[in-house]
Amino acid sequence: MSLRSLINLRILLSVLLILILGGAIAIWQARQSVERELRSSFHLVMQMVKSEVNQADMIRDNDDWLQSIKALRHLRHVQIALIDERDTVTEILTVSEREASRKPPAWFVAAVTTDYLAAEYPLKMPDGSVRRIQISADPMDEISEAWGESQAYFWSLVLMVGVIFLAINMVFHSMLRAVGTILSGLRQVESGEYDGKLPSIKISEFDAIASEVNNLSEALHYARQNNQSLARHTLHIQENERRHLSRELHDEMGQSLTAVKAMAVASKQADADVGAIADSIIGICNHLSGVVRSMMRTLHPLSLADLGLGATLVDLVSEYRRRHSDLLVTLDYDDSLELLSHEVAIHVYRIVQECLTNVIRHARADSVKVTVTHSHSDDDDQVVINVEDNGIGGQAEGEGFGVRAMRERVENLGGRFSFESEPEQGVSVKASMPFIEKQQDESKQD
């Protein structure tokens, strides 16, 4: 069942309940009104008739009392009749003026009718006969009026409920139209169309939702652009690495092997200086070992699995010190990080490596401090990385691919990353990631 149908059904049931309850209240009020009105009229007539009868001079056959009572013939809600000794009504002294067209239905009469009052006064006539004046309540006039008032009340209630029903449907129509607009926008986001914007909605709550959907679209659009840029950059780096490895293998390995082969051939000559040739071959092999270690460190630090994160970072810092003697690199490392899993450890290593590379390329700094610590807390443990240099700094808004890659590494693990840079104030890179310990099988592999 749709929301509109569900709302209309509940409103209809509520309207029926209100009408039934309102009708019951109207009938109860009509019953009380009829009873009060009849009781009041009955007691009034009783007092008037009693007064007239007591003042009549029966002995002189004075019929003034009868004329006085007949003067009450148009009195409403009460019927006065004269009854003889044979219990026969000889005369109706009051006449009802009800209109036949206003006669209420039988069910309404039965609903509001109660036990009404009645009384009789005996009269001794001059001829010795005894006659009675019978006074009884006649509710039909009052019931007819109550029926008319109840109809007016009921139809007023129907009109009011109808107006409320129409107003509620108009409001829900606007709400459902706003929901439809938001759903359309969400379908666009689901299909990857992030350029479309939801229009402004008059209802403030739905307008806030539409604004959040627009913000979500912008964030997803920006994230997709970043992912595409990172993917292109990754492919570019991959091709550069392959080209670099190819050049290294050709220039270093190929030339060195050619030289070793030439020296080996030369060593076969009778007058060859075998000792000098051997020393040259040893020097070439040492050079090749350094080249291979450098290539292996670039591809993947094997010492990370063999020696641990601390020794690998010390080796990395030492390499940068050797290559850039004018740069002071200090390392503050927490030994408890040796329990860190390989997955997190490689991220720590790559972040420190990228930071040092950026310092060499862009910072123009003469000192950089690397701090890798283990932060303990009641909720969870964190690996905290802080790299600060005293270089030229710059604007933090222009994050390059290296900074984006570091941010992706940290946020993919559920951590937090910050890059702060001000002109002439250096750069500060801070990252925190969950501390995940080594598993047993991982420890065995190590």
Give the whole-angstrom CA distance, residue 246 versus residue 226: 30
Total-model pTM: 0.48
Q: Are strands 427-434 and 328-333 parallel, antiparallel or unpaired?
A: unpaired
Q: How many Cα atoms are found within 13 Å in the side-chain-facing hemisphere of 172?
A: 15
- Residue 382 phi, psi (nearest 5): -130, 145
pLDDT grade for 441, boundaries at 50, 70 and 90: very low
Domain ranges of the chain: 3-167, 203-299, 307-445
Tens digit of each residue's pLDDT (9 = 90 or more) over 371-430: 999 988 767 789 999 999 998 886 555 567 788 888 888 988 889 999 988 888 889 999
Helix (H, G, I), strand (E, B) or coil at 53: helix
Phi-psi region of 317 (alpha: psi -120 to 50; beta: other; left: phi over 0): alpha
In this structure, which CATH number among 3.90.245.10, 2.40.30.10, 3.30.565.10, 3.40.50.300 belongs to the domain 307-445?
A: 3.30.565.10
Q: Are strands 78-83 and 118-124 parallel, antiparallel or unpaired?
A: unpaired
Instruction: Measure the CA angle with vertex 139, ends 89 and 91; round to 5°.
Output: 15
330 near 373, Cβ under 8 Å?
Answer: no
The radius of gyration of the chain's CA atoms, rounded to the nearest angstrom, is 53
**Helical spans, DSSP H, in 200-273:** 204-248, 255-266
106 near 143, Cβ under 8 Å?
Answer: no
Q: How many Cα atoms are found within 13 Å in the side-chain-facing hemisphere of 10?
A: 9
DSSP label of 400: -
**Within its chain, how far is the Cα of 201 from the centroid?**
17
Give the whole-angstrom CA distance, residue 112 versus residue 105: 11
Instruction: Measure the CA angle with vertex 416, ends 410 and 420; round to 5°.
Output: 100
Give the whole-angstrom CA distance, residue 402 versus residue 291: 25
User: Which of 24-38, 56-70, 259-273, 282-296 has the least mean pLDDT?
Assistant: 56-70
117 near 137, Cβ under 8 Å?
Answer: yes
Tens digit of each residue's pLDDT (9 = 90 or more) over 192-233: 887 778 888 887 888 888 888 888 888 888 888 877 777 777
pLDDT at 184 over 50: yes
